[in-house]
Chain A
Amino acid sequence: MENNKVKNILLVGVGGQGIILASEIMADVFMEAGFDVKKSEVHGMAQRGGSVSTHVRFGSKVFSPLIKEGEADIFIAFEELEALRYLDYLSPQPTILLNEQRLNPPSVSLGNQAYPEKISEILSGRSKHFKSIPGRELALQAGDARAVNIVLLGALCAILSIPEKIWTENILRRFSPKVERVNLEAFRLGRST
């Protein structure tokens, strides 16, 4: 069935981490690589800090902009706790990219609830294609803590067979030339994780 060829990427994290921008860049990349693409997210409220998830699907023909539960082939978690919230979406053997970053939700900040433990173990037990990425560290190494999303795009590039040039062109197009060097470095560091 043709639908089997559609690849599903689920990105999750916290508002303000650059998830929506990352998903827009990858959607452009897939389109340029010749695929049909759909991307969906909910952005209702303007505040930062809420839970965010974005669905990106590409293939020869894509109908639903939403991924069906149990069918996410690639799972990119920008934040550890948020990764646990979306496990029902994962396919039997997904590729999991986990950014090693914890951001406390309000109930944890207030001391009313504990931040869940052993998230990395839970995820690595869920799939043998699991990679933990020190995104913030690598972004800082590249020169800007905000480039975590570009680091993760680099890591995604490494597991897909789409020419690197398409990725870098689409990343650079989104930013001012001033941060070109930082973004290229962040992408390179992510790609070689």
Chain B
Amino acid sequence: MLSGNEAIARGAYESGAKVATAYPGTPSTEILESLSTYAGLHAEWSPNEKVALETGMGAAFGGARALVVMKHVGVNVAADPLFTLSYTGLRGGLVLVTADDPELHSSQNEQDNRNYAKFAKVPMLEPSDSQEAKDFTEMAFDLSEKFDTPVMLRTTTRVSHSKSIVLVGEPAEPTGKPQLVKDPMKFVMLPANARKRHPIVEKRIEELTRFAETFPGNRVEWGESKVGIITSGISYEYAKEVMPEASYLKLGMVYPLPREMIRSFASRVEKLFIVEELDPFIEEQVRAMGIEVTGKNLFPLCGELNPGLVERGLRGLLQVPKEETYKNLPARPPIMCPGCPHRGIFSILSKMKLFVTGDIGCYTLGFLPPLSAIDTCVCMGASIGHAMGLDKALGKEALGKVVAVIGDSTFLHSGITSLLNVVYNKGAVTLIILDNRTTAMTGRQDHPGTGFTLKGEETSRVDLVKLSKALGVKHIKVVDPYQLASTERVIKREVRRPEPSVIISRAPCILSRRERTEQEKSFFVSPEACTGCRTCLRLGCPAIEWVKENGAGPEGKKRKGRASIESFLCTGCTLCAQVCKFGAIKESDGK
């Protein structure tokens, strides 16, 4: 059994891919993690998706097969090279995997990246299960070389993270030896050359449209002629589940569409439905062919589909009233782990009531109560630009009130140029780099600041202090986020500075096995000394609980309850002991 992601990795391996690049991002991350276990190819974490695609392009220009992987929003970062790669084409096959996240399980938007295929004029395949994920990866490499085009392979969370049975094969014989071949008319996209390439792109899409008619991934499954369903990806599985008797046109290639196949299918069924998640991507194209269809008027534009939603749409059922609803159940959102190094920083920012421009990573959870200390979060690297814009718009009004926070991996992904801009354009911006030496949110992947590669080999580690200095930042402070008083003093001083300044909060992710030293100690709350003031609870630590009790605290003063520490969750980070003004939190003798 393989997940969709593992199956894509297997497909790339069996296709003889020589180079594989990615930046981690849910739900795509496991593809490269899985690929890194195969021998005979270079697999890397690139600092960002643009670099990943450019590196893949280089390999493909040299005649090797390359797999480039990212989540849906990563394609926005890589869009610049993608659109012109469509013009140049390549020599070895290049497959760009976009892992979309309908329902925003772990993303900032739910954009439908099928639109990129149409926009960049490249073909896109969309598997429905793990077997197809593997098979389509292999077909994509063949298509890429046959039509001299990058090929996009789109998955969604439910395909990437579902497991199903896959028959694996053996790696294919390499198609040719990578070598340097000069071809500037093809690879140097000066206007004069690019102008000549554009008609080739248009002709290629026409050829691909004809090819789509015979592409084995597009198939008709005849059932009853009363209902015909055009669908692709995970939506196909849901539709088959709830209406197995219908006729299906299952599209493995969602761009360009097989127009004759669609026309003939439509003419042989009484009622035609299109079942697709997010945008009416297929629907609009089929409508433009003058064919009457039913689609987004029955199925939602937002969020992911599921068998229930598809059944209600296809069978015209009403929303089933929920038999038992337990409203207002306490929510259980992801929260910063006990002992997380970010907690100290956010407790200070929360206390100081700063306007915090935030970024993408675990620390975005600083948004949640009780810390409630993130005020913006849009995309990778944006925190610094946000703080810069606020500074330029508000001037002295904002001084001492705004701070930008960014993780180490996110800073190296796309924060460096923004910090350079702060220095260059004289911004009074203070940036806190939360350096936990890993890409934590996606499950702790390495990056240029960790000193290790994807394959676990030692490599050079970028020095964030020297890097900031080289960009021209004059005020750089390194703090230990577990030392609240000294860290608070530094933050207070730096945010008021009318110049660029950087604070590096340096402490490894609490889940990082490589850097973690086993904590021997844990803490407990002395029930006699606790006044029930709740200060420790405002840290939002999962190990600290409120115990309700109407009774008396120290010196007979009334209290409504007291704090208590769950010792098996406590990591001994000491933050709660530091914030307790009554000395009620003490170290246990042993764990």
Contacts and interface: CB of A to CB of B under 8 A. Distances in A.
A159 interface: no
A47 B265 CA distance: 47
Contacts of A106: 330-333, 335, 368, 540, 542
Given A45-B106, A69-B308, A87-B324, A109 B158 contact: no
A84 B362 contact: no
A87 B323 CA distance: 9
Given A14-B332, A69-B320, A46 B440 contact: yes
A144 B424 CA distance: 58
Contact of A37 (B1, B158, B335): B1
A42 B241 contact: no
A44 B333 contact: no
A163 interface: no
Contacts of B537: 109-111
Contacts of A104: 545
Contacts of A100: none
A81 to B, nearest CB: 7
Interface stretch (A60-68, A150-158, A178-186): A60-68
Interface stretch (B162-170, B251-259, B281-289, B574-582): B162-170
Contacts of A85: 326, 329
Contact of B442 (A46, A108, A110): A46
Contacts of A113: 328, 330
A164 interface: no
Interface in B293-339: 306-308, 311, 320, 322-326, 328-337
A69 B323 CA distance: 11
A132 to B, nearest CB: 19
Contact of A47 (B244, B334, B561): B334
Interface string B1-15: 100000000000000
A8 to B, nearest CB: 10
Given A64-B241, A84-B326, 10 more contacts: A2-B244, A24-B1, A40-B158, A44-B105, A44-B157, A47-B337, A50-B332, A85-B326, A87-B326, A106-B335
Given A37-B164, A42-B105, A116-B326, A51 B545 contact: no
Given A31-B165, A41-B161, A46-B440, A108 B241 contact: no
A62 B128 CA distance: 12
B1 A65 contact: no
A64 B331 CA distance: 27
Interface in A8-43: 14-15, 24, 27-28, 31, 36-43
A45 B545 CA distance: 23
A68 B542 contact: no
B443 interface: yes
Interface string B142-182: 00000000000000011001111100000000000000000
Question: How many interface residues does chain B have, given as a range?
Answer: 35 or more
Contacts of A14: 332
Interface in B482-536: 511, 534
Contacts of A39: 1, 162-164
9 contacts: A1-B244, A40-B162, A44-B26, A47-B335, A66-B158, A66-B306, A69-B320, A88-B322, A88-B323
Contacts of A69: 306, 308, 320
A48 B337 contact: yes
Contact of B443 (A24, A42, A46, A108): A46
Contacts of A40: 158, 161-163
B365 interface: yes
A14 to B, nearest CB: 7
B308 A68 contact: yes
Contacts of B234: 65
A39 to B, nearest CB: 5
A111 B311 CA distance: 41
Given A46-B444, A47-B334, A109-B544, A68 B163 contact: no
Nearest to A82: B332
B244 A3 contact: yes
A130 interface: no
Interface string A91-123: 000000000000011111111010110000000
Nearest to A69: B308
